[in-house]
Amino acid sequence: MKNSPQVLSQLILNKRPDFKPKIAIILGSGSANLADKLQDVISIPYHSLPNFPISRVEGHPGQLLLGYLNKVPVICCQGRVHAYEGMQEKDFQLFIRILKCLGCETVLMTNATGSLRKDFQPGQLVLIADHINFHPMNPLVGINDDEFGPRFFPMDDAYDKKLRHSLQQTAEQLNISLPEGVYFSVLGPSFETPAEIRAFRILGADVVGMSTVPEVIVARHCGLKVAVISVVTNLASGLSEESITHEGTLHFAEKASHDLGRLLESAIEQLTN
Ligand code: HPA
């Protein structure tokens, strides 16, 4: 049990015993400044938690923030790990199950994506309605921990309909465009070739990225409700004359994080009802 999700969540709660978050937010590349909207914040660096998986990717500060967004207690994970960093199944399990053990019922995630559609330009927010998992691993391979969920479970409702509806309503009120799309997950870290992107498009994808899907799978296994908002940071390989760079993706993620912040801040109250 040493360094289990149960033990680590207790360590976290010891720092703020009266804190009872129902919502966790996992912030992807470049959208870290969304965290500025939190009030009355306690921050816990990932490295202070034994065995907590830590990202080395630029744009990910690596800390948990326990604070209030519009008076709603939320736990904000500033930074996430990626399979391309060599993270293993157990790392994704620990990351998400800590949130479950903290009492969260809903996880909102953001990420950076490449767009496979010319009508989804850089800066556009996309509400993920489904995914195609092209990662070579599934984070639940290995012995099943029945305490968290069953061996086999459905994924037809992975992206919660009610949450999506609520986020779209809020976006409409705020005049933020939020079309739905299908997320195609790749391992990375290389960006795709133009031929790969053409193939993914034929398979039904709208955006492509290197994160999120392992967390979604672990979250659904333990019954957490999930919503994901992607920020289009670039047109995918072959759709524009320019080569894709990590710096470019950070630039557009930061630009869009203003809208993302407004959207999540306004949506949060409704999501807890
Ligand atoms: N491909 C994969 N992952 C990404 C991209 C991309 O074009 N942009 C941001 N993350």
Per-residue pLDDT of the chain (273 residues; tens, 9 = 90+): 668 999 999 999 999 988 989 999 998 865 656 778 889 999 999 888 888 888 776 656 689 999 998 889 999 998 888 888 888 899 999 999 999 999 999 999 999 999 999 999 999 999 999 999 998 889 999 999 999 999 999 999 999 999 999 999 999 999 999 999 999 999 999 999 999 999 999 999 999 999 999 999 999 999 999 999 999 999 999 998 877 777 777 777 777 788 888 898 888 877 776
Catalytic site residue 85? yes
Ligand 1 atom closest to residue 237's alpha carbon, by position in its atom list: 7
Q: Whose CA is nearest to atom 10 of ligand 1?
A: 113
Q: How far is CA 214 from CA 108, 133, 134, 153, in A?
A: 14, 9, 11, 15
The reported pLDDT for the residue numbered 80 is 85
Alpha-carbon Rg for the chain, nearest whole angstrom, is 17
Catalytic hit among 43, 68, 84, 138: 84
Q: How many CA atoms, within 13 angstroms, populate the side-chain half-sphere of residue 16?
A: 19
Q: Whose CA is nearest to atom 3 of ligand 1?
A: 209
Catalytic hit among 185, 230, 234, 237: 234
Q: Which residues pair with 235 in a beta bridge?
A: 115
Catalytic site residue 251? no
Can you give the pTM of this predicted structure?
Answer: 0.94
CA–centroid distance, residue 1 to ligand 1 (Å): 37
The reported pLDDT for the residue numbered 59 is 58
Domains, the chain, with CATH or none: 5-271 (3.40.50.1580)
Q: Are 91 and 53 in contact (CB under 8 A)?
A: yes
Helices (H) and strands (E) in the chain, counts: 6, 9
